[in-house]
Structure 1
Amino acid sequence: MAKAGEGDERWIVDDLGSQGTNVNSWHWQEKDVLPWAKQRLQELLGSLTVRDDNSGSTLSTGSSVSVTGDAIINNRKRKLIPSYELEVKGTWKGSTKDGSSAEGTFTMPYIADENADEDPELKAAVMDDSKSAQQLRELFLSQGRQLVHERVRGFVKEVQAGGPSARRLQEEPPGNGAAAEAPGAGSQAAAAFREEELARQKAAAAAAKKVAEEKQRAQDRAPTATIELSERFYARPGDLYECFTNPGRVQAFSQSPAQVEPRVGGTFSIYGGSVEAKFTTLEPPSKIGMDWRFKNWPDNTTSKVTITLEEVQDGVTVLKLIQKGIPKEDRYGNSEIVDNTTHGWKNQIFHRIRAVFGFGL
Structure 2
Amino acid sequence: MAKWGEGDPRWIVEERADAKNVNNWHWTEKNATQWSIDTIKKLLGSLTIESDEFLCNKIEVTKCEGEAHVNNRKGKLISFYEWQIEAEWSGTRKTGDNKTKFKGKVEIPNLSEEYSVEELDVSVTCTSSSADGDAIRKFMQTVGAKSIKEKLGQYLKLLHEEYSRDLILPTKGQNTTNQIPKEPSRTLSNDVRKKDTDHSKQPKDLSIREIHLNDEFFCTPDDLYKVLTTKELVQAFTRGEATVNAVQGGEYCIFGGNISGTFTSLKIGVS
Tell me the TM-score range normalised by the shorter chain.
Answer: 0.5 to 0.7
Write the mapping of 1:164-313 to structure 2, written as runs, cut at 5 A. Answer: 164=163, 167-172=165-170, 176-181=171-176
* Shift in Å, 1:65: 5.0
- The structure whose residues are more often strand, as a share, is 1
Aligned 8 A contact 2:44 2:148 in 1: yes
Gaps of at least 5 residues in structure 1 are 1-18, 190-294, 296-329, 334-361
The residue number in structure 2 matching 1:71 is: 68
Opposite residue 113 of structure 1, the aligned amino acid is E
| Distance (whole Å) between structure 1 residues aligned to residue 126 and residue 56 of structure 2 | 13
Q: Greater RCO between the two (CA within 8 Å, min separation 6)? A: 2
Query: Residues 51 and 177 of structure 1: is their aligned pair in 2 closer, same or farther, counting only changes over 3 Å?
Result: closer
The residue number in structure 2 matching 1:85 is: 82
1:62 equivalenced with 2:59 (yes/no): yes
Q: Deviations over 1:269-326 (max 9, x none)?
A: xxxxxxxxxxxxxxxxxxxxxxxxxx9xxxxxxxxxxxxxxxxxxxxxxxxxxxxxxx
The residue number in structure 1 matching 2:100 is: 100
The residue number in structure 2 matching 1:156 is: 156
* Shift in Å, 1:33: 0.3
1:36 equivalenced with 2:35 (yes/no): yes
Q: Under a length normalisation based on structure 1, what TM-score does the superposition of the two structures give?
A: 0.41
Q: Under a length normalisation based on structure 2, what TM-score does the superposition of the two structures give?
A: 0.53
Query: Residues 47 and 136 of structure 1: is their aligned pair in 2 closer, same or farther, counting only changes over 3 Å?
Result: farther
* Shift in Å, 1:331: 9.3
The residue number in structure 1 matching 2:132 is: 132
| Distance (whole Å) between structure 2 residues aligned to residue 112 and residue 21 of structure 1 | 31
| Distance (whole Å) between structure 2 residues aligned to residue 26 and residue 63 of structure 1 | 41
Query: What secondary structure does 2:56 align onto?
Result: strand
| Distance (whole Å) between structure 2 residues aligned to residue 93 and residue 117 of structure 1 | 24
Write the mapping of 1:327-346 to structure 2, written as runs, cut at 5 A. Answer: none
Opposite residue 169 of structure 1, the aligned amino acid is L
Aligned 8 A contact 2:25 2:75 in 1: yes
Query: Residues 156 and 57 of structure 1: is their aligned pair in 2 closer, same or farther, counting only changes over 3 Å?
Result: same
Query: What secondary structure does 1:115 align onto?
Result: coil
Opposite residue 63 of structure 2, the aligned amino acid is S
| Distance (whole Å) between structure 1 residues aligned to residue 48 and residue 141 of structure 2 | 13
Q: Deviations over 1:231-264 (max 9, x none)?
A: xxxxxxxxxxxxxxxxxxxxxxxxxxxxxxxxxx
